[in-house]
Structure 1
């Protein structure tokens, strides 16, 4: 199946898989095993080395896009005074909805996660691409409150909202909202009224083609946090021009400017036909008229195998930045040399000219470049003074800080359920579930953020039995991953490399290993070529299994909506045999 056809069916097929997974009994999590047999991880290093950043060094007044590399899709942004807050989809990752803060749109710090406790996030039995979809964040100046509204495809939650007076201090438990569809967004008008817009199915019996969706609006009761029954109205049917059978109109946001209401949406699906379109109305409830120059952002018209390709752009949100200059955040991808998407959908940014009737994404309709101009008077401090890095960078963690870095995430359950921080490093206390389980797993994950990178960690571990394993996992999903770890056979210890494709695990290589001292494990990637290396002396690395394909780490092969993750992994349910 070609990629365009594959991606046009992407959401439909994945939604079916998700539904199946949600009603499948997952292996139960029985809690950590004996901590004395927990692996000790230390000295983790991740180093990005993409050629595009070597070829495009920053000059004065420039910064890199994407601003968030790796699996940070579906960005939404809001502002209170000089404080900007940005959130992303997180699916079955735990904690959920990473949230970032900036004073200038260039220099960002992660301040935590919006959904950081089990009462907010019900993803224990979710497939990796279920869970949290397309969060929207809004500041309501009428009551000085921040809102995050999203769709949680798990735990019977559906559409939900949480809120806070201060994003730095945590968020409320969720309120379940009574409407169907996905991608909800709030709009707070100047007169105190509020509205929700979202993607939904057409009225029953009126679906015209596969991918036919609508945008619906409701009045929203701010006092009681609920939509007002009977106020719902379809304001976009199909997309810009239903005669062209547009697919997957979604990700709506409403903006008010010069007393007119602008509705901006993604159209075309989240793959290579993705785009951003805009409509305008004199009334918040419509009717909305599409701009004549739609789409206002897309990369779909350019050669498939172009150099330094950035693609799939859409699902955008607008914000007025420093000095009155508008900017847009949106998702996009940077595929490898085989056009495979391993790092996932990332958060990009472009300046926007809104001097005319409609916003114009600057260079949004030509092939994207890795650098954009900074707002006037802003200093680029990325990678310094606690601000997140971008471009090529190195991240090191000795796990000795009192608080675990926000970059580290769990899958389907809290990190605290299986990690213990010590003066020597990080213990991962193994669950009796392995990496293929649709259940919480004892693996601490870091996103793959480059096509060319290496990730290295030191591990002290002595397995007690053949069902014990610890090491690294490169994880696209529970059904597609590589495991590179230490286990036991008879009285000997082995290092194994296994590939799981569509749920079937194959041993690629194994080798006896002396585990009396710490071993360094390394994943090394150059585009689609991955190598799994180890060192017993901390200096000289040996390869196990040769060069293997990163195909199963891509959404092209694995499907779903996430990028691949590098995990510090332990289990007492190992089924890989040397």
Structure 2
């Protein structure tokens, strides 16, 4: 009996070992099957004339400080540390957070919302999700707060907290009030308040775009507004008789015993501006400054060089030199007036020597350069600091710890990416294609210049017409270009397709896809794919067997990649993309 047990044991062990060998072989084969693409290189090069024509001196830095789609900035200081957050909509992870010691050099330290439990955007449109985050520090409990509106997942207004922004943020706490753009204010006496944009009281809306700013007292122990404490403190804007639109993005500051309420006004496009009010009490009444707006570019001619437009949605902070600074969003349109880079984060010094703060040179054409604060050295792009100007980003995908600039859409990037044993980024394709309002298997990098070049190297052998991998220029699920390799019959093809929706989104008005060009392609060896953009002109090129680049489809318009054509609030994203649900047929 003893012999039988031993024999059985060893037979089972040998059988298990055989199964393990088979499993390991199977696993190795399954790592990169033919229809799973491997991207072994990604190079992004910016080439904007404004930077070539305005080189930096030793004591200067560029603004915007965050190029590309980094809108709605909010900033806070604790001691010598500055933290800045921006909107992320349905990008995943959400709410990029940056750190600086001097307001010139910034490092991204992560994302505030980095877990699916915090970010419910699985079926949200690109411009839904996270709107206008505001970061604040409460010295009374030594806690940082990030309050925002999540237009997805039934969440609405919410807050998350941390004692240390370098170590992550807590779970979402839902807040019980309507409206958007909330911001917290902690007074010297320990009391807390929330201000936000909201609709007028029922029956009191006077015109389209008529909004109000509302304030609530906030219970720090329960983390919610106190019922019955709400009050409208601004109706319409600076002057209701002028029918101001979209008063929003409020922040309260306290200086010399006075309370200041700063808001964006005029909508987020051509008429955008920043305005300021003053009061003796956080709950008002608030009186507008006589010199409003304190920041805008709306009165300036369209023919000026190096145009900056749509300036507003600002936040103020005291700098290391004792001077105030303001971060704000603005756009730099291309030569056709398109907004492909989206809303970017700018900075200006603020003169607060008088009663009201005023953005220095904020009412005249904004310049691309600013002097650094005294004693600050510009470390542009060095030692992990965020690059500015014309820069090159090169990625060889040697490990899974990618730079924070790489993002996914509507779900974690870890759900579809891995690193091949020999190196290179593996994208395990979802059945959802790029037009789906669902998570898509694309790893995105923001377009950060009006003129740029992107090159990637792709090893890929599609197995059927349902398989496609390549590059995508993605403004949204309804406006995008796909430039990839697929199959038709027994032939492999490279294809360029344009998707756009004609007219407003409504039931039955689906986006339409047009095949611009296609050609047979040899995929025995890695293929290089390239996008070259010069303002509104985009070219899609490819190279096989290390040869010269060939163009596919000629020069095409970047119009559908622009906010003011496609709508929404995001800029163009450049994606390494794959799908097993392809419907683009050569």
TM-score (norm. length: structure 2) = 0.92
Structure 1 519/561 Cα, relative in aligned 2: closer, same or farther at 3 Å? same
Partner residue, 1:540: 548
Deviations 1:472-524 (A, max 9, x none): 00000000000000000010000000000111000000010000100010111
User: How far did 1:55 drift?
Assistant: 0.7
**CA distance, structure 2, for counterparts of residue 464 and residue 142 of structure 1:** 61
**CA distance, structure 1, for counterparts of residue 58 and residue 183 of structure 2:** 36
Partner residue, 2:570: 562
Structure 1 runs (4+) deviating above 6 angstroms are none
**CA distance, structure 1, for counterparts of residue 60 and residue 347 of structure 2:** 12
Partner residue, 1:495: 494
Contact 2:525/2:544 (8 A) holds in 1: yes
Q: Determine whether 1:287 maps to 2:285.
A: yes
Partner residue, 1:384: 382
Give the alignment's Cα RMSD to 1 decimal.
1.1
SS at 2:165 equivalent: coil
**CA distance, structure 2, for counterparts of residue 538 and residue 224 of structure 1:** 63
**CA distance, structure 2, for counterparts of residue 356 and residue 143 of structure 1:** 32
User: How far did 1:538 drift?
Assistant: 3.5
Structure 1, unpaired ranges of 5+: 1-31
Contact 2:233/2:285 (8 A) holds in 1: yes
User: How far did 1:358 drift?
Assistant: 0.7
Partner residue, 1:300: 298
Structure 1 521/142 Cα, relative in aligned 2: closer, same or farther at 3 Å? same
Q: 2:518 aligns with which of 510, 516, 519?
A: 510
**CA distance, structure 1, for counterparts of residue 585 and residue 194 of structure 2:** 53
Partner residue, 2:141: 143
Give runs of aligned pairs for residues 248-267 of structure 1, distance below 5 A: 248-267=246-265
Q: Determine whether 1:350 maps to 2:357.
A: no
**CA distance, structure 2, for counterparts of residue 384 and residue 212 of structure 1:** 46
**CA distance, structure 2, for counterparts of residue 389 and residue 113 of structure 1:** 18
**CA distance, structure 1, for counterparts of residue 379 and residue 410 of structure 2:** 34
Deviations 1:404-457 (A, max 9, x none): 110000000100000012341100100000000000000000000000000110
Deviations 1:55-113 (A, max 9, x none): 11111321000000000000000011111000000000000000000011000000010
Contact 1:325/1:375 (8 A) holds in 2: no
Contact 1:33/1:431 (8 A) holds in 2: no
**CA distance, structure 2, for counterparts of residue 256 and residue 79 of structure 1:** 14
SS at 2:321 equivalent: helix
Q: Determine whether 1:275 maps to 2:278.
A: no
User: How far did 1:401 drift?
Assistant: 3.6
Contact 1:70/1:346 (8 A) holds in 2: yes
Q: 2:534 aligns with which of 526, 530, 538?
A: 526
Contact 1:519/1:534 (8 A) holds in 2: yes
**CA distance, structure 1, for counterparts of residue 335 and residue 34 of structure 2:** 44
Partner residue, 2:36: 38
TM-score (norm. length: structure 1) = 0.94
Give runs of aligned pairs for residues 378-457 of structure 1, distance below 5 A: 378-422=376-420, 423-457=422-456
Partner residue, 1:575: 583
Q: Determine whether 1:202 maps to 2:200.
A: yes
Partner residue, 2:465: 466
Q: 2:328 aligns with which of 325, 330, 351?
A: 330
SS at 1:323 equivalent: coil
**CA distance, structure 2, for counterparts of residue 270 and residue 564 of structure 1:** 18
User: How far did 1:537 drift?
Assistant: 3.5
Q: 2:90 aligns with which of 58, 75, 92?
A: 92
**CA distance, structure 2, for counterparts of residue 294 and residue 504 of structure 1:** 45
Contact 1:494/1:512 (8 A) holds in 2: yes
SS at 1:319 equivalent: strand
User: How far did 1:37 drift?
Assistant: 2.5
SS at 2:50 equivalent: helix
Deviations 1:99-129 (A, max 9, x none): 0000110000000100001000000010000
Contact 2:342/2:569 (8 A) holds in 1: yes
